[in-house]
């Protein structure tokens, strides 16, 4: 797709055109992954964060938020609960919490690997040194999620304080790739000051980086942040971006995100039909899950993980896809 075609899709409201984009995206996914939708065990390990991103509810300046941090034993127990349900990827996600030193993360990874040697571990704990990334990889982490958020550096500056730069974000992503991780990048749709040209840059950056995974979700306001009164992103634009991402990165693993489900009651199903092929049921203990409020009204799913998983599998099957409980590495 050339720039003109991409910008046209971003701007169009023509439903026939949009439907044909979605069916093309589904065809591309099917060529590589069939109808399989991979399930992951998501564990939100901490809502402490040293960063101050203007859009994010767990930013350090949010003094209204009650903070929590799972202990290594609690994290291991979440993995056990996920394994019992048959999940074979553990995703450890959290704010940039200085308590999780290289040493502590390594110990947690080693503990998980010892008990579950054949499961995949995905980390999503932000920007770290190249040395830390190498250490975590040696201790058994297989994958790393780090959204670039926006690939336009001027736009990046409007969403983050000056202590954070797009250049460093990109450096981290390239370091992760060099280390040997399956890497996930991605961006939000509908953040303040975003233009169609920003979104074009996002897709071009994805093509350049060639990540194994791509996380795309709508911006959602969180009331205790500087962007708390702004409008959320548009689900239709979000779905179009997801579909184009699928077409440009045919073998990527693309989650139907919680943010999608938050903005529309059947948001995840719509994402699957636009080319997504991953769903991440949340196994964080309920008391902590409520505090991992990166945006307002976050879809939480059913309180019982087993019921929740069953319901997700029914949704997947009902939408014409196959729930897949294998590790689901990138092809
Ligand atoms: N709305 C939508 N997504 C958000 N994220 C953080 N804050 C928000 C928000 N207000 C996303 C970021 C981050 C991911 C974990 O959650 O893209 O990388």
**For 180-217, how does the pLDDT look when each residue is reduced to its tens digit (9 = 90+)?**
999 999 999 999 999 999 999 999 999 999 999 999 99
The CA 114 to ligand 1 mean position distance, Å, reads 32
Whether 55 is in the pocket of ligand 1, judged by its Cβ within 6 Å, is: yes
What is the Cα–Cα distance from 310 to 316, expressed in whole angstroms?
Answer: 10
Please state the separation of Cα 310 from the chain's center in Å: 22
Residue 121 has pLDDT above 90, yes or no: yes
Give pLDDT, residue 299.
Answer: 86
Average pLDDT over residues 230-240: 98
**For 32-41, how does the pLDDT look when each residue is reduced to its tens digit (9 = 90+)?**
999 999 999 9
Give pLDDT, residue 215.
Answer: 98
Q: What confidence tier does 301 reach under pLDDT thresholds 50, 70, 90?
A: confident
Residue 119 has pLDDT above 90, yes or no: yes
Average pLDDT over residues 61-65: 97
Closest CA to 75 of 103, 113, 102, 34: 113
Strands (E) located in 178-271 = 182-189, 213-218
Residue 300 has pLDDT above 90, yes or no: no
Whether 222 is in the pocket of ligand 1, judged by its Cβ within 6 Å, is: yes
Give pLDDT, residue 302.
Answer: 84
**Mean pLDDT (the chain, rounded):** 97
The CA 56 to ligand 1 mean position distance, Å, reads 6
Closest CA to 276 of 216, 212, 325: 216
The CA 293 to ligand 1 mean position distance, Å, reads 10
Average pLDDT over residues 256-265: 95
61-68: Cβ within 8 A, 24+ apart: 62/224, 62/225, 64/224, 65/224, 65/291, 65/293, 66/291, 67/291, 68/287, 68/288, 68/291
């Amino acid at each position: 797709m050339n720039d003109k075609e991409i910008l046209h899709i971003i701007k169009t409201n023509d439903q026939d055109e949009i439907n044909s984009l979605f069916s093309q995206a589904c065809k591309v996914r099917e060529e590589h992954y069939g109808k399989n939708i991979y399930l992951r065990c998501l564990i939100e390990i901490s809502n402490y964060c040293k960063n101050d991103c203007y859009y994010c509810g767990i930013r350090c300046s949010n003094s209204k938020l009650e903070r929590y941090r799972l202990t290594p034993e609690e994290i291991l127990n979440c993995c056990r609960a996920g394994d019992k349900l048959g999940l074979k990827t553990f995703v450890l996600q959290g704010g940039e919490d200085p308590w999780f030193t290289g040493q502590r993360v390594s110990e947690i990874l080693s503990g998980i690997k010892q008990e579950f040697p054949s499961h995949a571990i995905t980390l999503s704990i932000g920007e770290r040194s190249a040395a830390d990334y190498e250490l975590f990889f040696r201790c058994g982490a297989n994958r790393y999620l780090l959204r670039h958020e926006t690939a336009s550096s001027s736009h990046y500056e409007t969403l983050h304080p000056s202590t954070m730069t797009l250049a460093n974000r990109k450096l981290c992503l390239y370091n992760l790739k060099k280390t040997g991780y399956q890497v996930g990048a991605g961006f939000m749709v509908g953040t303040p000051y975003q233009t169609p040209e920003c979104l074009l840059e996002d897709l071009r950056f994805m093509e350049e980086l060639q990540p194994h995974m791509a996380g795309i979700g709508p911006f959602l306001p969180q009331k205790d942040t500087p962007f708390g009164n702004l409008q959320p992103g548009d689900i239709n634009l979000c779905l179009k971006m997801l579909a184009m991402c699928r077409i440009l990165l045919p073998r990527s693993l693309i989650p139907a995100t919680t943010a999608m489900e938050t903005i529309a009651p059947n948001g995840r199903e719509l994402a699957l039909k636009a080319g997504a092929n991953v769903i991440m049921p949340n196994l964080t203990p309920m008391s902590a899950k409520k505090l991992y409020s990166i945006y307002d009204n976050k879809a939480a799913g059913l309180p019982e993980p087993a019921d929740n998983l069953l319901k997700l599998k029914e949704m997947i099957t009902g939408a014409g896809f196959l729930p897949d409980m294998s590790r689901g590495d990138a092809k």
